[in-house]
Chains A and B, each alone.
Chain A
């Protein structure tokens, strides 16, 4: 391919990427713009990309009224608990499936992967009944527990562990380490990047989860931020600036976390795919 044709394709590719990026980021920019303008501007007949009058009034009102602070705390706690418990359980399960030999191992692994095929929505009623029987409605445990089973995370970890040379485990066995010690001292440090990647993805998923908290929580004080936003809508009516402000406040912690840990996520996914990057 000659240089001119190559340059042409590069320009086309760049323009396409810019277009896709613009489509992706446009709603976010619009939300930010809406949150930074006075309420009356949000229903103006004249369209402006940028606020005519810049103000933080919407943010102030959201933080003063409603229960946003509590909802943020709930989201953070739930997401953190889901992440920690999911990682712990998934790592142990993946290690068992990958490195331990026990009767029925293949069957149990197959059943675990089959669970991946069942949509969460199909489990809503039985899970709700179970949490109700356990007295966990409107509790952190009730919100967290059904979210900690993640077959896809187990699968990713198992594949990664399978690729780690067995010599490491055998050397640790010769050194006197038991299975948990081998997982903690050898496999976990070696798998650092992929664990970070799965943890961040799990955290974001738990933070943004609306459906299960919507089912299990009825108390305003126990709501997470995605659930709380619907209350905000009801409380404020059609207050678009405050609605966007609340949505941005809810998304901000996760966005910041991703920015901070972005490199670990990238390295983790590269490690999972085997690419050097």
Chain B
């Protein structure tokens, strides 16, 4: 296995910058997920690592060796494509052994390696079939098997689960995580699905518009997002953003006057923000709650929509001065709400996030778990 280092990676398509100076270190054996919205450059970055795209500027190092001019097949990598890209005229065994055949590996060894990979992925009974006779999940496993037999230094996955239905996606996610644990391989995984990113990645790289917004573990990105983009991208329903102004601060508590007039406290260090300056309060739906009648304070709002999800309920409420509806995630047995009801929404100051006028997160005060 090998580490991967990207330094100053830049790429343009017909004058339009797609990647704007990406620096990234991936340790040996690490499972790194590149996540971001469509068009952010994550697939382009993956293809540059694979050698399928030329680098505009910067260097790609795999296992300590610069690979900019090295052919894809000689970089010690294997790739699983979004469409699986299984050769339709070849059997599963032939698909999996094609790269080894091209490399001149003896037939006996090809058969042995294919059989071993097939055993790991439980597709030994499919070796004589052609891709059109396979289900989506089976094709997915064959595509992964084709990568495994090559014993690469680095595995690359380009949105491999996007063509699967929701149930199969969940199941395959677990299998991929287990595969990583078994092989202890370096894996770079591209997805636009934040659930895949959060569940699979040891490290997540959030990309937006060709730049890296933040790199960190799933917990770091979720609890300490660097800016509003990362905060809003991870988490479902997404974080609520309430515009306001900094009314003052005391110790490590910032007082924020929201646009609707309500003043709330947030456990954040706002010393770098100008008093009275525009800030944005961020609160995740699961950290908001509908206050009971006897409780004081809170943000006044009117319930617009209630979504029942079985074990939980999403209450969408409209508050003065907040352009978008606020989502509150409650347990299904927490109460009964209906559209039109006037409520007050509260949260623990330690669960609030504060963002400055540029969208950058102000330092949060660590909370005891």
Contacts and interface: CB of A to CB of B under 8 A. Distances in A.
B87 A173 contact: no
A164 to B, nearest CB: 10
Interface string B73-109: 1100111011101011100000000110011000000
Interface stretch (A104-112, A154-162, A175-183): A175-183
B88 A170 contact: no
Interface string B328-352: 0000000000000000000000000
B72 interface: yes
B99 A175 contact: yes
B52 interface: yes
B197 interface: no
Contact of A190 (B89, B98, B103): B89
A175 B102 contact: yes
A189 interface: yes
B73 A176 contact: yes
A186 interface: yes
A20 interface: no
A256 interface: no
Contacts, number: 51
Contact of A170 (B74, B77, B81): B81
A175 B98 contact: yes
B50 interface: yes
Nearest to A169: B85
B73 A170 contact: no
A170 B72 CA distance: 9
A277 interface: no
Contact of B50 (A172, A174, A177): A174
Interface in B102-156: 102-103
A168 B73 contact: no
Interface string B51-67: 01000000000000000
B83 A167 contact: yes
A174 B78 contact: yes
A190 B78 contact: no
A174 B50 CA distance: 8
Interface residues of A, number: 17
A149 to B, nearest CB: 29
B89 A167 contact: no
Contact of A171 (B77, B81, B89, B103): B81
B89 A189 contact: yes
B85 A171 contact: yes
A181 B102 CA distance: 9
A19 B99 CA distance: 57
Contact of B73 (A174, A185, A186, A192): A174
Given A189-B89, A190-B89, A173 B83 contact: no
B52 to A, nearest CB: 5
A26 B99 CA distance: 57
Contacts of B83: 165, 167
A145 B150 CA distance: 44
B50 to A, nearest CB: 7
A170 B82 CA distance: 12
B87 A186 contact: yes
Contacts of B81: 167, 170-171
Interface residues of B, number: 20
A186 B98 CA distance: 11
Contacts of A171: 79, 81, 85, 87
B103 A176 contact: yes
A167 B158 CA distance: 11
A190 B88 contact: yes
A167 B43 CA distance: 13
Given A175-B73, A176-B73, A170 B102 contact: no
Contacts of B98: 172, 175, 185
A174 B99 CA distance: 8
B87 A168 contact: yes
A181 B81 CA distance: 20
Nearest to A165: B83
B147 to A, nearest CB: 9
Contact of B102 (A167, A177, A190): A177
**Residue of A165, A167, A189, A192 ringed by the most chain B CB atoms within 10 A:** A167
A20 to B, nearest CB: 38
B89 A174 contact: no
A173 B78 CA distance: 11
A173 B72 CA distance: 7
A167 B102 CA distance: 18
B188 to A, nearest CB: 14
Contacts of B79: 170-171, 174
A173 B52 contact: yes
Contacts of A185: 87, 98
Interface string A214-237: 000000000000000000000000
B85 A168 contact: yes
A165 B102 contact: no
A263 B102 CA distance: 33
Contacts of A165: 83, 85
A167 B85 CA distance: 5
Contacts of B74: 176
A173 B73 contact: yes
28 contacts: A165-B83, A165-B85, A167-B81, A168-B85, A168-B87, A170-B79, A170-B81, A170-B85, A171-B81, A171-B87, A172-B98, A173-B52, A173-B72, A173-B73, A174-B50, A174-B52, A174-B99, A175-B99, A175-B102, A176-B73, A176-B99, A176-B102, A177-B73, A177-B102, A189-B87, A190-B87, A190-B88, A192-B89
* Interface pairs A-B: 4 shortest CB-CB: A176-B73, A175-B99, A167-B85, A171-B85
Given A170-B79, A174-B77, A189-B87, 12 more contacts: A167-B81, A167-B82, A168-B85, A171-B85, A172-B87, A173-B72, A175-B102, A176-B73, A176-B103, A177-B73, A185-B98, A186-B87
